[in-house]
Structure 1
């Protein structure tokens, strides 16, 4: 057997052993539950850690204690997580705890390092090139499959292939599994299976690998070559997995290959924060951990150090209501086809719902109560949010400690407009990466040049050197420019780099420009971005793992949260968990709001999210409705939410109660239709034009039945539009604005 050595490419740290200190100091500052997690013996450990409970502190102190006590040499520990940012945070904390020999990586980074080491010895050749994006290859495969998808469709098709690979499906298995899981796709499952086959062929011909192949090949190499398994397992004897509720079947297969028959593994997760099942992630591995390892130590960490008791109380009430209102809009609460999902995802989610949800225990002092506000329209909701942000800024809350969170990215436009009009700087999370922004890339390039320069006529001190370099970019210190345009954003980005230099000097007074450039390079690799002074706009998915002093949860209306295409009980409960994630991002201030209409003066036909039933106080405020005006269904005269059930949907013609597809169509099958023929013809002409642009049949855009339903409903909001059969999230994103414009008598902007 070939054993790993000090310069083993599988690891970038020396193989360390020995007992060292007892590590008692690592448990002294922890709470009782965190201490249990740290002191649990080597072997299977499952840490169920709620939001804001210090899970990263617990697992890093556990690793540090294992190393300091000599129970596990640091070089034999592999900690894996899902993002480079989280892996970087783990490494940083472990370094301060004296456990810098521990490997902390993402699944993909660990697999790439291992496969790059073993592959030449197995195949006699270098590892094939890794492609960072599948888009180009999927486009080539689409041409072979005689498809002509638009750019948006290409992205959706790529995501579908990624889901198939993450759930270990072959092209032959995909159609049945996609149908069972209720996947919403732009093309029939059989067509996507054909595309999947063509994609794999195009990839082989190009001699490249994608990121999913990294995990699959690494697992296969370990499974098929005993000497590889022996070498890896002798190197890594203890594993830690962060955010274990987000693991998918492919990642679990790799983890199983690493482990073999051993059980020295610690997993950390929170089933209440499972929000990525649409990508293949499944909480079943976390929930079934004690069943797989009957001797496992299970520790619940429940003390919340992030949020005030008022925010924590709302979060507890939200998860305590799991299953109470989850099937509104799904007649009788029956599960739709695919309710059990694939690989038991839905079953695991529902099993989690049957467990007693852990109640978080707030540790912070009291703060203001969360607010619930109803508005007549989205523009009014956005304008009021901007005014409240302006008030917070005036009270001394930094812009970087304020966030506006929404369900879908399309909602950001109204808030970008309102916040910019108020002269407030903002940034949209999930857009361009910080270190790829032009001014940041240029600044880093100038810093590198200055570090290489032999010029001795420099100002004294790192911060002064950085400031002088940035002067060449026109940057000056002091107050930022007024407004929130490109000039303000550029200033804020450079100011963030200056603050990084100041932080480096505070930690190491002797830091030089060389040190700073190296630190920036490491941050760029791991996407460890600095704080930029601006209000954050982000989707609820993008907000996971982050926190702010003040959070605005906006657009909380039926059809948006839960999103209209969430139909099964499992899908509805995942939408509830998205709201839970949003609530638990707030440290002190939390505002929840919704609008009854999309446009000012539009029909107020929306309802507040079912998840707010029973949560808002009787004094919940109502804004934007004329005094004494009629209350919206589900809101009493004072604007407070009613907790009782909704009235049945009735036919607009005969007023009989409706269920199933008739409820979605809004009338009985036998009742006469009321189609706006002129609108129907406009829709058909528009559909023909879009189909020609995409070189696709007209029905790929919308079927005649869907166009007729639009012409009959005449929807005026996103919530109304997605309530029409045939319009899911993908088609809403692609065609929603066009359709609403046509209904309103305007020309589509696109």
Structure 2
């Protein structure tokens, strides 16, 4: 760090809690950081403070996080603080680098490369094991293998673990085990690795070779882990191998933002940190600098409604920004009308001066994007689908990189942004943007590189074209693109860690939010609530929450708005009366229909009776429903449980609904299920009743 930057100057912009975290003594530090509370600012200032105070050299710091974008942001912040040489990487990127270095010593020969396609390997493994090779099934099998490896569950232990944890799988657990075994054998035959192997082999190398452990631990002495609530058992094993007997560890996380349990992530290490390190310094960050008090208030109500919140997750955000507009709610007849309304409101925001890149439309599943892509196109509004074509893979960007790389050998004179703009003029960057279409998209991509050059020139300690090209190369390797002008369309999961001035949370109907397959599982429902909370806290100022009662124009308006909206819709909103009715209905089914006792368990709520009260199930109807489910699952090419779970069929056979209203009152049957299967189920119920 430069000598002109004093410790006082470094800490001047931090609030008291951030400063306490940044200046905490060397050793274990746990920062419980709510959404928008400046956690990246805090941990980068902590690293800079430790370096400035002489506790550690920059090259002895290893900071890990979960996305390339977050790692890139951390590197940029450290560079602006004058810290050069500290490593900020994802777990996998850090492990890959270490494994490639130690491989010749531990294994011998050249390091095995990453498999080009784990999905293709899983497909071949499924075929070898006699499992289905349909695309959806193979995708599920690969996800299950990845979950098992991330959870440190071996091949032979998988069936017992799947049964204990009630894993829903496309194939029987024993068949998944066989696919898992074949998958590992194929990788070994081809001498390739998957992403989990990077962590497994790196941990094993440090654990099993003393010289490797000593060399690594001599190199890295200070560790920082961002998003600690998302660590998997495998990542934690690697972290423990890195640490050894040391405790110079800073972790930052928020249990309220745990949204990757399906991949093996758990907030337990975060919540149990002080149990492992009783002497740890714990700091709570609750001042929200991102969102207006109106958005913060709604976020607190969303997460405050959770059924169970461990002590370490009870952060209550306190908004620090000036007042803004109240969140807006919208109910529409169908998805097309909802998408058109979002496009109209987006146009109003753009016309009022909000940049398109500061607007996001967030949804639960990627399949929901189509209606919004069409609506924005019809309105002439540029957009980007997060998870679509990668920025650095675009042709114009590759051409621009080649031009800059060539020029870096003999850089032309001038300020970096002007030099970059001049060089990119040779590959199509004009002074003025085209009016629209593909040409405008290409211009935006090239112009974003010029903007990035300006940012680099303002932050870097040494500014030159070769160093800027190096920055671009690093960003390309990490898939950390610059901002390109356009409304962002993204799933809620992929929006984690991002923020915008205006956010539209769309499709907030039962069966989509929470997702249908989460119903009946209290833990899964609470994770869906946290995902909704993550969506709300992405908004800085404008927040729009909407839902549609039918999928297509003229379709049956049988959907219900999400249960997570209960208590959030203002009293004077046109939809408030219906919400109140739904709340009353929800309260009524939370009592046993036999004895009137309050119901708490997910299965009890689904069956609308206590577990000990007698069942009045219609066995004939249940058999008919199961036969119908088998036929429908075969027609759709999906596992039977995707149509309806056994518990839902039992609830139908007990309650024998006669219309849509009675059917959707059963937990597990939301708008999507009603639309797809409602008429069939009611027909089966009527047919069974007519033959008794």
Which segments of 5 or more consecutive residues in structure 1 lack a partner in the other structure?
A: 1-15, 324-349, 623-630, 651-656, 744-750
Cα deviation, residue 728, structure 1 = 14
Contact 1:23-1:64 at 8 Å conserved across structures: no
CA distance in 2, matches of 1:186, 1:549: 40
Are 2:366 and 1:421 equivalent residues in the alignment?
Answer: no
The change in CA–CA distance for 1:454 and 1:313 in structure 2 (over 3 A counts) is closer
Contact 1:53-1:302 at 8 Å conserved across structures: yes
The change in CA–CA distance for 1:118 and 1:600 in structure 2 (over 3 A counts) is same
Are 2:123 and 1:139 equivalent residues in the alignment?
Answer: yes
Are 2:560 and 1:607 equivalent residues in the alignment?
Answer: yes
Task: Give CA-to-partner distance per residue, 1:375-415, whole Å, 9 cap, x none.
Answer: 22211111111111111111111111001111111111111
Contact 1:462-1:512 at 8 Å conserved across structures: no
Aligned with residue 363 of structure 1, among 314, 317, 320: 320
CA distance in 2, matches of 1:508, 1:301: 29
Aligned with residue 167 of structure 2, among 183, 199, 203: 183
Residue of structure 1 in register with 2:684 after alignment? none
Task: Give CA-to-partner distance per residue, 1:22-48, whole Å, 9 cap, x none.
Answer: 733222221000010011100111000
Q: Which moved more, 1:126-135 or 1:572-581?
A: 126-135
Report SS of the residue matched to 1:546.
coil
CA distance in 2, matches of 1:728, 1:383: 21
Residue of structure 2 in register with 1:96 after alignment? 80
Residue of structure 1 in register with 2:136 after alignment? 152
Residue of structure 1 in register with 2:14 after alignment? 30
Are 2:579 and 1:634 equivalent residues in the alignment?
Answer: yes
Cα deviation, residue 19, structure 1 = 11
TM-score, normalised by the number of residues in structure 1: 0.78
The change in CA–CA distance for 1:295 and 1:318 in structure 2 (over 3 A counts) is same
Cα deviation, residue 109, structure 1 = 1.8
Aligned with residue 530 of structure 1, among 472, 482, 485: 482
Cα deviation, residue 285, structure 1 = 0.3
Cα deviation, residue 468, structure 1 = 2.2
The change in CA–CA distance for 1:618 and 1:80 in structure 2 (over 3 A counts) is same
Are 2:491 and 1:544 equivalent residues in the alignment?
Answer: no
TM-score, normalised by the number of residues in structure 2: 0.85
Aligned positions of 1:347-362 closer than 5 A: 352-353=309-310, 357-362=314-319
Aligned positions of 1:22-61 closer than 5 A: 23-61=7-45
Are 2:177 and 1:193 equivalent residues in the alignment?
Answer: yes
The change in CA–CA distance for 1:90 and 1:723 in structure 2 (over 3 A counts) is same
Report SS of the residue matched to 1:185.
coil
Residue of structure 1 in register with 2:689 after alignment? none
Cα deviation, residue 58, structure 1 = 0.7
Task: Give CA-to-partner distance per residue, 1:626-660, whole Å, 9 cap, x none.
Answer: xxxxx985356xxxx8577444399xxxxxx9967
Task: Give CA-to-partner distance per residue, 1:449-469, whole Å, 9 cap, x none.
Answer: 56669999xx99414423422
Report SS of the residue matched to 2:360.
strand
Contact 2:403-2:423 at 8 Å conserved across structures: no
Residue of structure 1 in register with 2:247 after alignment? 263
CA distance in 1, matches of 2:411, 2:243: 52
Aligned with residue 617 of structure 1, among 545, 570, 576: 570
Report SS of the residue matched to 1:208.
coil
CA distance in 1, matches of 2:6, 2:241: 32
Contact 1:22-1:69 at 8 Å conserved across structures: no
The change in CA–CA distance for 1:123 and 1:511 in structure 2 (over 3 A counts) is closer
Contact 1:596-1:606 at 8 Å conserved across structures: yes
CA distance in 1, matches of 2:620, 2:440: 57
The change in CA–CA distance for 1:258 and 1:714 in structure 2 (over 3 A counts) is farther
The structure whose residues are more often helix, as a share, is 2
Cα deviation, residue 539, structure 1 = 0.6
Report SS of the residue matched to 2:516.
coil
Residue of structure 2 in register with 1:289 after alignment? 273
Task: Give CA-to-partner distance per residue, 1:697-742, whole Å, 9 cap, x none.
Answer: x979979999999xx999999x9799879x999xx9xxx9998999
CA distance in 2, matches of 1:632, 1:375: 15
CA distance in 2, matches of 1:225, 1:310: 55
Cα deviation, residue 511, structure 1 = 6.4
The change in CA–CA distance for 1:244 and 1:466 in structure 2 (over 3 A counts) is same
Cα deviation, residue 536, structure 1 = 0.6
Contact 2:104-2:110 at 8 Å conserved across structures: yes
Task: Give CA-to-partner distance per residue, 1:128-171, whole Å, 9 cap, x none.
Answer: 22225311221221221123412232222111111110000011
Residue of structure 1 in register with 2:618 after alignment? 670
Report SS of the residue matched to 2:389.
coil
Are 2:326 and 1:378 equivalent residues in the alignment?
Answer: no
The change in CA–CA distance for 1:80 and 1:519 in structure 2 (over 3 A counts) is closer
The change in CA–CA distance for 1:384 and 1:714 in structure 2 (over 3 A counts) is farther
Are 2:97 and 1:113 equivalent residues in the alignment?
Answer: yes
Residue of structure 2 in register with 1:63 after alignment? 47
Contact 2:149-2:234 at 8 Å conserved across structures: yes
Cα deviation, residue 305, structure 1 = 0.8
Aligned with residue 580 of structure 1, among 504, 526, 533: 533
Cα deviation, residue 497, structure 1 = 3.0
Are 2:542 and 1:589 equivalent residues in the alignment?
Answer: yes
Residue of structure 1 in register with 2:233 after alignment? 249
Q: Which moved more, 1:375-384 or 1:577-586?
A: 375-384
The change in CA–CA distance for 1:192 and 1:713 in structure 2 (over 3 A counts) is farther
The change in CA–CA distance for 1:517 and 1:212 in structure 2 (over 3 A counts) is same
Task: Give CA-to-partner distance per residue, 1:668-694, whole Å, 9 cap, x none.
Answer: 7439969999x979x95x976776xxx
Contact 1:128-1:208 at 8 Å conserved across structures: yes
Task: Give CA-to-partner distance per residue, 1:594-648, whole Å, 9 cap, x none.
Answer: 11222222222222211111122102244xxxxxxxx985356xxxx85774443
Aligned positions of 1:130-529 closer than 5 A: 130-323=114-307, 352-353=309-310, 357-448=314-405, 461-471=418-428, 476-482=430-436, 486-504=438-456, 514=466, 516-529=468-481
CA distance in 1, matches of 2:87, 2:644: 53
Residue of structure 2 in register with 1:339 after alignment? none
Contact 2:333-2:553 at 8 Å conserved across structures: yes
The change in CA–CA distance for 1:296 and 1:599 in structure 2 (over 3 A counts) is same
Residue of structure 1 in register with 2:687 after alignment? none
Aligned positions of 1:588-737 closer than 5 A: 588-622=541-575, 633-635=578-580, 642=583, 645-648=586-589, 669-670=617-618
Report SS of the residue matched to 1:291.
helix
Contact 1:222-1:257 at 8 Å conserved across structures: yes
CA distance in 2, matches of 1:316, 1:250: 32
The change in CA–CA distance for 1:140 and 1:110 in structure 2 (over 3 A counts) is same
Contact 1:715-1:721 at 8 Å conserved across structures: no
CA distance in 2, matches of 1:586, 1:699: 39
Contact 2:103-2:110 at 8 Å conserved across structures: yes
Residue of structure 2 in register with 1:338 after alignment? none
Cα deviation, residue 476, structure 1 = 3.7
Contact 1:480-1:492 at 8 Å conserved across structures: no
The change in CA–CA distance for 1:481 and 1:610 in structure 2 (over 3 A counts) is same
The change in CA–CA distance for 1:264 and 1:55 in structure 2 (over 3 A counts) is same
Residue of structure 2 in register with 1:79 after alignment? 63
CA distance in 1, matches of 2:220, 2:467: 31
